[in-house]
Amino acid sequence: MKPTYFVGRLTRLLVTLAALSAFTSPVIAQHSPAHEAQSPLLEAERSSEDDRSKGLASASGRHATQQRLPTVHVTGISTVTEGRDSYTSPAMTIGSKTAQSLRQTPQSVSVITQQRLQDQNLTSLDAALGQSTGITVNNTLNRSASLFARGFLVSNAQIDGVPVAMPTNNYSFDTADLAIYDHVEVLRGAAGLLNGAGTPGAVIGLVRKRPTQERQFRASASYGSWNNKRIEIDGSAPLNTDGSLRARGVVVKEDREFFYDVAEQDRALVYGVVEYDLSAQTRFTVGASHQDVTGIPINGTNLPRYSNGADLKLPRSTFPGAAWNREKAKNTELFGEMEHHFTSDWKLKVGATRTLSRTDSKIGFLLGAIDPVTGTGSFQRGNAVDAEVERQGLDAFLSGSFEAWGRRHEVVLGANRSEHRYRSDIISLYPMPYTPVDIFNYDPYSVPEPMTPVSPNGANEQNTTQSGIYGTLRLKLADATTLILGARDSHWEFKQHNLRTGVVASDYSDRAITPFAGLVVDLDRTWSAYASYADVFEVQNRFMFDGRQLDPTTGANYEIGLKGELFDGRLSTSLALFHIERKNIAQRDPVNTDPTACNNSACYVQGGETRSQGFEAEASGALSANWNLFAGYTYNTTKYVRDRTITGAPSINEGEPLAAWVPRHIFRLWTTYQLPGELNRWNVGGGVNAQTMFYRVLSGQRMEQPGYALWNARVAYRIDQNWTVAALLNNVFDKTYYGRFNLLDQGTMYGEPRSFMLTLRGSF
């Protein structure tokens, strides 16, 4: 039975059971701490998701009168970070589906809370992850970035626990504006148990804002460097007297320019979500968002290098494009969720999301490495691009606990499915031979706009589908010892064809079973030690001489660590050692060397190996009632253990780093402190992002960025109980550095110079 078939059957079955049980389940009353008194659904359910307990009490009383059934008391842990004024969270769900404390999760996890997002003015996903432990951000376009963790590209993500693809060849995920999210979760290392195929770098989890039981209204207005203007409005309220129906809406308007010339961007976002407690046991959630982004973009080619790899030393304001560049992008998302508690111990959750993104752009850019003697080599190029991305995700799981051998254990059984369709039509704007330009005296406003496209570059459609069934079991071996076992059966399909000719370029599928094992030992009430093992599974679009597709790359992720919850849980700390192996990586066939022998492509064999290992440390939370802190350090080395050429001889990569553009050492620090006594209206803060050198070697030429540190500072003043004004200064000492390299002829991009942002924030 295919997992795709199982997902459909399981979902229909679970929804039917939920509907029936709404009339038969006992009423669930809840007991929640005072600071979680906003939760409108039963605490077992929302305490693992949100902070809204009052609405459930209303719903419980309403249905108790009708049903007159016994009451079941439920407790749990909240994952919501809004309103906590903290840099840590008591729990997260990214590694387990059910809410678990960071200390009870046997992998490296981080959470970027709502308070940190506000304090550091982190409004985009790449900006937030650039402040997280161990994540390297390679910016490419105005709103596009590639993410790396532990030397591997980050390819998987979740939104409210529903798996979605995180591709790097289009805009389907890059438009994420964090105004609609409560917090960001990061699990570093292999995460195939709940996500299926992917790299062992990390998985990113976004958790949407949800309606609150009490009325609240928040607004902010910001102005910063390069005419950066942004307004956010966020309101939530119950829609009926007992609070069983609630709604929340967010509106964002942003208009900004950039540190490089010409480019600009306008963004408009609308988000709405409604929750309804159908009964004391069942909640339905539906929501939608729509975002428009228009502007003059800088192309991903960015700046070239000299042909010997040397730096051109162009001004940071250089815009290597045409002033007539333009781009329009629309992103519409629909999502829904159903949660039902059968008893105080057993819960069902079904979530779904669908996103449609359209991008229409016309972009001129420069391409070509520069001759260090003549200064020539750059050519004017341009493309018109029409792209569409459709992304769908579905996840359904049943979780609960049971008594056995005198102890209580937990189990999760579920299935999920994700689909990703990417269609693009690219047309060249210039004929060959391309027009040479002088990059040292380049004027974007002098480039004439070509009105007639010249030739099609490619019109392709890619369809990726992944489905799987999974299960985890948390066995309580002793009061202080928990064993976590899990496995997933994944099925993966990929198809690609040319939209003009109909020729199928790729059509393949694969499946794999990925196990997981973890052990957590509580050393005392503060510290826990853990160890974990996770399988690595990634599909390869390569074929052998006999026509068979190569098996997936395989490997293992080993990790041991120590976690602590200090100061009554207000400060979370972690130390981790990790070792990742990948094997069976595709290599050119040294015997069958015909470049068209295998499906009009080269033939491959398996045999490549890579390794990544290192150390991570993190502390996040509060050192005192007035002092918040985040600090993260990563040491990571990578290596091509075995990499062969078509002759079977070692390649130039063998023995070299797998990802030389990922720094070996990364340290990130951010802290804020509320002044005492009569100065308590003032809050001061600051931090640093420091890293060692990174480099790339291309065509025998080395491009290197020396290590650097970027210092940031913040000061805030509380005007009254509703209003706060804050000033943020990034890159205080105006350090000049490159954020990324790609090739000699393109892909070099400066990091952002010194910038400021002034924000007025109100909360009612």
| pLDDT tens for each residue of 729-739 | 999 999 999 98
pLDDT in tens, 281-319: 999 999 999 999 999 998 767 899 999 999 999 999 999
DSSP H stretches of helix in 190-271: 192-195
Does the pLDDT at position 214 exceed 70?
yes
In a domain, 155, yes or no: no
**Residues with Cβ within 8 Å of residue 106, at least 6 apart in sequence:** 484, 518, 519, 520, 530, 531, 532, 559, 561
pLDDT for 141 equals 53
**Residues with Cβ within 8 Å of residue 663, at least 6 apart in sequence:** 136, 691, 692, 693, 694, 707
User: Which residue range(s) make up the domain with 427?
Assistant: 216-763
**Residues with Cβ within 8 Å of residue 234, at least 6 apart in sequence:** 179, 209, 217, 218, 219, 248, 249, 250, 251
The answer, yes or no, to whether the previous bond of 650 is cis (omega within 30 of 0) is no
Choose among 474, 653, 762, 614: nearest CA to 189: 614
CB 111 within 8 A of CB 125: no
pLDDT for 701 equals 87
- Paired strand residues for 190: none
CB atoms within 10 A of CB 188: 27
Does the pLDDT at position 6 exceed 60?
no
Q: Please provide the size of the chain in residues.
A: 764
Kindly report the average pLDDT of the chain as a whole number.
87
Percent of the chain, pLDDT > 70?
87
* Mean pLDDT of the region 15-44: 39
Does the pLDDT at position 178 exceed 90?
yes
pLDDT for 227 equals 97
* Euclidean distance between the first and the last CA atom of the chain, given in angstroms as a whole number: 53
* Mean pLDDT of the region 19-42: 38
pLDDT for 116 equals 97
* Mean pLDDT of the region 580-607: 84
pLDDT for 78 equals 78
pLDDT in tens, 661-716: 899 999 999 999 999 999 999 999 999 999 999 998 887 889 999 999 999 999 99
CA angle, residues 692, 694, 695, in degrees to nearest 5: 155
- For strands 202-208 and 156-159, give the pairing: parallel
pLDDT in tens, 83-115: 999 999 999 999 889 999 999 999 999 999 999
The domain that contains 700 carries what CATH number? 2.40.170.20
- Determine the 3-state secondary structure of 677 from DSSP: helix
Confidence of residue 172 (pLDDT cuts 50, 70, 90): very low
Read off the pTM.
Answer: 0.89
Report which DSSP code applies to 123.
-
pLDDT for 743 equals 84
pLDDT in tens, 624-649: 999 999 999 999 999 999 999 888 88
- For strands 135-141 and 108-112, give the pairing: unpaired
Confidence of residue 61 (pLDDT cuts 50, 70, 90): very low
Q: CA Rg, the chain, in Å?
A: 26
In a domain, 390, yes or no: yes
In a domain, 83, yes or no: no
* Mean pLDDT of the region 116-128: 95
Choose among 37, 57, 44: nearest CA to 339: 44
Q: Which residue has the higher pLDDT, 604 or 674?
A: 674
Does the pLDDT at position 331 exceed 80?
yes
In a domain, 589, yes or no: yes
pLDDT for 663 equals 95
CB 300 within 8 A of CB 141: yes
Asked which of 355-364, 428-437, 623-632, 662-671 is least confident by mean pLDDT, the reply is 428-437
Does the pLDDT at position 16 exceed 70?
no
Confidence of residue 740 (pLDDT cuts 50, 70, 90): confident
In a domain, 737, yes or no: yes
Q: Write out the DSSP string of 125-180.
A: HHHHHTTSTTEEEEEEETTEEEEEETTEE--EEEETTEEEE--SSSSTTTT-BGGG
pLDDT for 56 equals 37
CB 336 within 8 A of CB 286: yes
* Mean pLDDT of the region 438-462: 85
Dihedral, CA atoms, 439, 706, 669, 675, nearest 10 degrees?
Answer: -70
Measured distance CA(340)–CA(337) in Å, rounded: 10
- Determine the 3-state secondary structure of 545 from DSSP: coil
Does the pLDDT at position 167 exceed 80?
no
Does the pLDDT at position 753 exceed 60?
yes
In a domain, 691, yes or no: yes
Does the pLDDT at position 1 exceed 80?
no
Confidence of residue 143 (pLDDT cuts 50, 70, 90): low
pLDDT in tens, 236-257: 999 999 999 999 999 999 999 9
Does the pLDDT at position 598 exceed 90?
no
pLDDT for 594 equals 80
pLDDT for 85 equals 92
Choose among 288, 395, 272, 371: nearest CA to 334: 288
Residue 621's region, left for phi above 0, alpha for psi from -120 to 50, else beta, is left
pLDDT in tens, 189-202: 998 888 888 889 99
Measured distance CA(192)–CA(18) in Å, rounded: 28
Report which DSSP code applies to 358.
E
Measured distance CA(643)–CA(625) in Å, rounded: 53
Q: Please count the structural domains in the chain.
A: 1
* Mean pLDDT of the region 435-454: 89
The H or E element that residue 602 is part of is: none
pLDDT in tens, 459-499: 889 899 999 999 999 999 999 999 999 999 999 998 888 88
Asked which of 36-45, 504-513, 691-700 is least confident by mean pLDDT, the reply is 36-45
- Determine the 3-state secondary structure of 259 from DSSP: coil
Across 51-128, the runs of DSSP E, i.e. the strands, are: 71-74, 108-112
Measured distance CA(679)–CA(473) in Å, rounded: 51
Token couple for 385: 């691009």
pLDDT in tens, 511-557: 889 999 999 999 999 999 999 999 988 888 788 888 788 888 889 99
Cα separation values, 537 from 26, 95, 135, 605, Å:
43, 17, 21, 17
In a domain, 236, yes or no: yes
